[in-house]
Amino acid sequence: MEQSYINTKEYLSIREELQAQQVALVAVSKTKPVEAIQEAYQLGQRIFGENRALELRDKYEVLPKDIEWHMIGHLQTNKVKYIAPFVHLIHSIDKISLLKEVNKRAAQNNRVIDVLIQVHIAEEASKHGFDETELFQLLQETNLETLPNINIIGLMGMATFTSDQDQVKQEFQHLQRLFEQVKTTAFEAKEDFNVLSMGMSGDYLTAIQQGSNMVRLGSIIFGAR
Ligand SMILES: *Cc1c(COP(=O)(O)O)cnc(C)c1O
Protein backbone atom coordinates (compact mmCIF):
# COMPACT_ATOMS: atom_id res chain seq x y z
CA MET A 1 0.00 0.00 0.00
CA GLU A 2 1.46 3.32 -1.03
CA GLN A 3 -0.37 5.68 1.24
CA SER A 4 -2.00 4.89 4.53
CA TYR A 5 -5.18 6.70 5.50
CA ILE A 6 -5.64 4.96 8.81
CA ASN A 7 -3.72 4.74 12.02
CA THR A 8 -4.15 0.96 12.17
CA LYS A 9 -3.06 0.47 15.75
CA GLU A 10 -5.39 3.15 17.08
CA TYR A 11 -8.29 1.93 14.92
CA LEU A 12 -7.91 -1.68 16.10
CA SER A 13 -7.68 -0.69 19.73
CA ILE A 14 -10.79 1.50 19.51
CA ARG A 15 -12.65 -1.27 17.71
CA GLU A 16 -11.70 -3.83 20.33
CA GLU A 17 -12.80 -1.54 23.13
CA LEU A 18 -16.14 -0.88 21.43
CA GLN A 19 -16.69 -4.57 20.75
CA ALA A 20 -16.06 -5.38 24.40
CA GLN A 21 -18.81 -2.93 25.33
CA GLN A 22 -21.14 -4.08 22.55
CA VAL A 23 -21.13 -0.69 20.90
CA ALA A 24 -21.45 -0.67 17.10
CA LEU A 25 -18.87 1.33 15.17
CA VAL A 26 -19.90 3.39 12.17
CA ALA A 27 -16.72 4.51 10.38
CA VAL A 28 -17.52 7.96 9.03
CA SER A 29 -15.80 8.20 5.65
CA LYS A 30 -17.36 11.42 4.33
CA THR A 31 -14.98 13.45 2.12
CA LYS A 32 -12.44 10.59 2.22
CA PRO A 33 -11.49 8.76 -0.97
CA VAL A 34 -12.55 5.25 -1.87
CA GLU A 35 -9.00 4.05 -1.09
CA ALA A 36 -9.42 5.07 2.55
CA ILE A 37 -12.59 2.99 2.80
CA GLN A 38 -10.85 0.05 1.12
CA GLU A 39 -8.10 0.24 3.68
CA ALA A 40 -10.59 0.08 6.56
CA TYR A 41 -12.45 -2.70 4.76
CA GLN A 42 -9.23 -4.72 4.57
CA LEU A 43 -8.97 -4.37 8.33
CA GLY A 44 -12.46 -5.82 8.65
CA GLN A 45 -14.60 -2.69 8.95
CA ARG A 46 -18.02 -3.22 7.31
CA ILE A 47 -20.18 -0.30 8.52
CA PHE A 48 -19.53 3.08 6.91
CA GLY A 49 -21.32 6.38 7.35
CA GLU A 50 -21.65 9.24 4.87
CA ASN A 51 -23.49 12.55 5.06
CA ARG A 52 -24.20 13.29 1.40
CA ALA A 53 -26.55 11.16 -0.66
CA LEU A 54 -24.72 11.39 -3.97
CA GLU A 55 -21.30 10.75 -2.45
CA LEU A 56 -22.81 7.78 -0.66
CA ARG A 57 -24.31 6.43 -3.88
CA ASP A 58 -21.06 6.90 -5.82
CA LYS A 59 -19.03 5.07 -3.18
CA TYR A 60 -21.60 2.28 -2.93
CA GLU A 61 -21.31 1.65 -6.65
CA VAL A 62 -17.57 1.00 -6.65
CA LEU A 63 -17.09 -0.74 -3.30
CA PRO A 64 -17.80 -4.29 -2.05
CA LYS A 65 -21.48 -5.09 -1.71
CA ASP A 66 -21.25 -6.48 1.80
CA ILE A 67 -20.67 -3.00 3.19
CA GLU A 68 -23.51 -1.63 5.33
CA TRP A 69 -23.99 1.98 4.32
CA HIS A 70 -25.38 4.39 6.89
CA MET A 71 -26.71 7.84 6.00
CA ILE A 72 -25.80 10.02 8.97
CA GLY A 73 -26.20 13.59 7.69
CA HIS A 74 -29.08 15.88 6.85
CA LEU A 75 -31.02 14.29 3.99
CA GLN A 76 -33.07 16.32 1.54
CA THR A 77 -36.27 14.65 0.39
CA ASN A 78 -35.32 14.99 -3.27
CA LYS A 79 -32.14 12.93 -2.65
CA VAL A 80 -33.75 9.94 -0.95
CA LYS A 81 -34.21 8.17 -4.28
CA TYR A 82 -30.45 7.87 -4.79
CA ILE A 83 -29.86 5.81 -1.68
CA ALA A 84 -33.19 4.00 -1.21
CA PRO A 85 -32.14 0.91 -3.23
CA PHE A 86 -29.33 -0.07 -0.85
CA VAL A 87 -29.00 2.09 2.28
CA HIS A 88 -28.83 0.01 5.47
CA LEU A 89 -29.76 2.62 8.08
CA ILE A 90 -30.74 6.30 7.92
CA HIS A 91 -29.78 8.06 11.19
CA SER A 92 -31.08 11.46 10.28
CA ILE A 93 -34.87 11.47 10.00
CA ASP A 94 -35.64 15.05 11.04
CA LYS A 95 -39.04 15.70 9.46
CA ILE A 96 -42.26 13.77 8.96
CA SER A 97 -42.14 14.60 5.25
CA LEU A 98 -38.74 12.90 5.06
CA LEU A 99 -40.06 9.81 6.81
CA LYS A 100 -42.90 9.66 4.27
CA GLU A 101 -40.53 10.05 1.34
CA VAL A 102 -38.26 7.27 2.64
CA ASN A 103 -41.34 5.07 2.99
CA LYS A 104 -42.39 5.81 -0.59
CA ARG A 105 -38.94 5.16 -2.09
CA ALA A 106 -38.45 2.03 -0.01
CA ALA A 107 -41.77 0.70 -1.32
CA GLN A 108 -40.69 1.39 -4.91
CA ASN A 109 -37.62 -0.75 -4.21
CA ASN A 110 -39.60 -3.47 -2.43
CA ARG A 111 -37.68 -2.80 0.75
CA VAL A 112 -38.25 -1.90 4.37
CA ILE A 113 -35.65 0.68 5.38
CA ASP A 114 -34.47 0.92 8.98
CA VAL A 115 -34.32 4.48 10.31
CA LEU A 116 -33.46 6.43 13.44
CA ILE A 117 -35.28 9.57 14.50
CA GLN A 118 -32.83 12.44 14.98
CA VAL A 119 -33.45 14.39 18.16
CA HIS A 120 -32.22 17.92 18.68
CA ILE A 121 -30.33 17.87 21.99
CA ALA A 122 -27.65 20.49 21.34
CA GLU A 123 -27.81 24.14 22.09
CA GLU A 124 -26.83 25.11 18.52
CA ALA A 125 -29.82 25.90 16.33
CA SER A 126 -27.85 24.76 13.28
CA LYS A 127 -28.25 21.11 14.24
CA HIS A 128 -31.26 19.25 12.89
CA GLY A 129 -33.79 17.04 14.56
CA PHE A 130 -37.07 16.83 16.43
CA ASP A 131 -37.30 18.40 19.86
CA GLU A 132 -38.85 16.42 22.68
CA THR A 133 -42.40 17.67 22.07
CA GLU A 134 -42.20 17.07 18.35
CA LEU A 135 -40.82 13.58 18.94
CA PHE A 136 -43.80 12.52 21.01
CA GLN A 137 -46.16 14.24 18.59
CA LEU A 138 -44.62 12.24 15.77
CA LEU A 139 -45.06 8.99 17.66
CA GLN A 140 -48.59 9.76 18.78
CA GLU A 141 -50.05 11.43 15.73
CA THR A 142 -48.40 9.61 12.87
CA ASN A 143 -50.07 6.37 12.06
CA LEU A 144 -47.00 4.23 11.49
CA GLU A 145 -49.17 1.53 9.99
CA THR A 146 -49.56 3.80 6.99
CA LEU A 147 -45.77 3.73 6.58
CA PRO A 148 -45.10 -0.02 6.25
CA ASN A 149 -41.81 0.40 4.39
CA ILE A 150 -39.95 2.18 7.17
CA ASN A 151 -38.89 0.63 10.46
CA ILE A 152 -37.96 2.95 13.32
CA ILE A 153 -35.26 1.17 15.30
CA GLY A 154 -33.93 3.96 17.51
CA LEU A 155 -32.83 7.53 18.09
CA MET A 156 -29.82 9.59 17.06
CA GLY A 157 -28.47 12.83 18.46
CA MET A 158 -25.50 15.16 18.35
CA ALA A 159 -24.24 17.05 21.38
CA THR A 160 -23.16 20.68 21.32
CA PHE A 161 -19.68 21.23 19.94
CA THR A 162 -18.02 22.35 23.15
CA SER A 163 -15.11 21.42 25.37
CA ASP A 164 -17.50 21.44 28.33
CA GLN A 165 -17.85 17.67 28.85
CA ASP A 166 -20.38 18.25 31.59
CA GLN A 167 -22.75 19.90 29.15
CA VAL A 168 -22.13 17.14 26.60
CA LYS A 169 -22.85 14.56 29.27
CA GLN A 170 -26.14 16.20 30.19
CA GLU A 171 -27.26 16.38 26.57
CA PHE A 172 -26.50 12.69 26.01
CA GLN A 173 -28.23 11.81 29.26
CA HIS A 174 -31.29 13.69 28.06
CA LEU A 175 -31.34 11.66 24.85
CA GLN A 176 -30.83 8.40 26.72
CA ARG A 177 -33.84 9.19 28.91
CA LEU A 178 -35.97 9.99 25.88
CA PHE A 179 -34.86 6.73 24.31
CA GLU A 180 -35.96 4.74 27.37
CA GLN A 181 -39.20 6.68 27.52
CA VAL A 182 -40.04 5.98 23.88
CA LYS A 183 -39.07 2.35 24.31
CA THR A 184 -41.38 1.87 27.27
CA THR A 185 -44.31 3.89 25.92
CA ALA A 186 -44.83 4.33 22.18
CA PHE A 187 -42.79 1.26 21.24
CA GLU A 188 -43.55 -0.92 24.20
CA ALA A 189 -44.19 -3.99 22.09
CA LYS A 190 -41.48 -3.33 19.54
CA GLU A 191 -38.47 -5.51 20.29
CA ASP A 192 -36.24 -4.10 17.58
CA PHE A 193 -36.36 -0.53 18.85
CA ASN A 194 -32.91 -0.66 20.41
CA VAL A 195 -30.39 1.61 18.68
CA LEU A 196 -29.12 4.71 20.44
CA SER A 197 -26.73 6.44 18.04
CA MET A 198 -24.71 9.07 19.85
CA GLY A 199 -21.04 9.96 20.03
CA MET A 200 -18.42 11.20 17.56
CA SER A 201 -14.62 11.32 17.73
CA GLY A 202 -14.54 14.05 20.36
CA ASP A 203 -17.27 12.79 22.67
CA TYR A 204 -17.84 9.07 22.11
CA LEU A 205 -16.49 7.99 25.49
CA THR A 206 -18.93 10.30 27.24
CA ALA A 207 -21.71 9.04 24.95
CA ILE A 208 -21.02 5.41 25.83
CA GLN A 209 -21.06 6.23 29.53
CA GLN A 210 -24.52 7.67 28.93
CA GLY A 211 -25.79 4.53 27.22
CA SER A 212 -24.91 4.89 23.55
CA ASN A 213 -24.71 1.61 21.64
CA MET A 214 -23.69 3.04 18.27
CA VAL A 215 -20.94 5.61 17.72
CA ARG A 216 -20.10 7.49 14.53
CA LEU A 217 -16.34 8.01 14.30
CA GLY A 218 -14.66 9.91 11.49
CA SER A 219 -11.53 11.91 12.22
CA ILE A 220 -10.24 9.61 14.94
CA ILE A 221 -10.09 6.81 12.34
CA PHE A 222 -9.37 8.59 9.07
CA GLY A 223 -7.62 11.74 10.31
CA ALA A 224 -8.74 15.34 10.04
CA ARG A 225 -10.96 16.35 7.14
C1 LIG B 1 -19.02 14.01 10.43
C2 LIG B 1 -20.00 13.37 11.35
C3 LIG B 1 -19.56 12.46 12.34
C4 LIG B 1 -18.11 12.13 12.59
O5 LIG B 1 -17.42 13.22 13.10
P6 LIG B 1 -15.95 13.08 13.71
O7 LIG B 1 -15.84 14.20 14.65
O8 LIG B 1 -15.03 13.19 12.53
O9 LIG B 1 -15.86 11.76 14.36
C10 LIG B 1 -20.52 11.87 13.13
N11 LIG B 1 -21.84 12.14 12.96
C12 LIG B 1 -22.29 12.98 12.03
C13 LIG B 1 -23.75 13.22 11.90
C14 LIG B 1 -21.38 13.63 11.20
O15 LIG B 1 -21.84 14.49 10.26
pLDDT tens digit string along 149-173? 999 999 999 999 999 999 999 999 9
Measured distance CA(142)–CA(139) in Å, rounded: 6
Residue 124 has pLDDT above 90, yes or no: no
- In-domain check, residue 165: yes
| Residue 110 belongs to a domain | yes
How many distinct structural domains can be found in the chain?
1
Residue 209 in 3-state DSSP?
A: helix
Distance CA 214, CA 197 (A): 5
How far, in Å, are 23, 122, 181, 185, 194 from residue 136 at the CA level? 26, 18, 10, 10, 17
The reply to whether 55 falls in a domain is yes
Mutate to test the pocket of ligand 1, among 200, 201, 221 (most ligand atoms within 8 A of CB): 200
**CB under 8 Å to 193, separation ≥6 — which residues?**
152, 153, 154, 182, 183, 187
Q: Please give the Cα distance from 84 to 19 (Å, whole number).
A: 29
The answer to whether position 35 is within a domain reads yes
pLDDT at position 125 is: 84
3-class secondary-structure state, position 197 = strand
In a domain, 3, yes or no: no
| pTM > 0.95 | yes
* Tens digit of each residue's pLDDT (9 = 90 or more) over 83-117: 999 999 999 999 999 999 999 999 999 999 999 99
The answer to whether residue 1 sits within a structural domain is no
Q: What is the pLDDT of residue 2?
A: 58
Whether 181 has a pLDDT exceeding 60, the answer reads: yes
Q: Per-residue pLDDT averaged across 63-69, rounded?
A: 98
* CA atoms of 175 and 210, how far apart (whole Å): 9
Amino acid symbol at 132: E
185 lines ligand 1 (CB under 6 A): no
Tell me, what's the pLDDT at 19? 98
Tell whether 43 is covered by a domain.
Answer: yes
The domain containing residue 101 runs over which residues? Answer: 8-222
Residue range 176-193: average pLDDT?
A: 94
Ligand 1 pocket test: which of 7, 14, 72, 126 has the largest number of ligand atoms within 8 Å of its C-beta?
A: 72
Does residue 150 belong to any structural domain of this protein? yes
**What CATH number is attached to the domain comprising 180?**
3.20.20.10
Ligand 1 centroid from CA 72, angstroms? 8
- Give me ligand 1 centre to Cα 141, in Å: 31
Radius of gyration of the chain (CA): 17
* Residue 199: closest CA among 153, 148, 165, 151: 165
| pLDDT the model gives residue 182 | 96
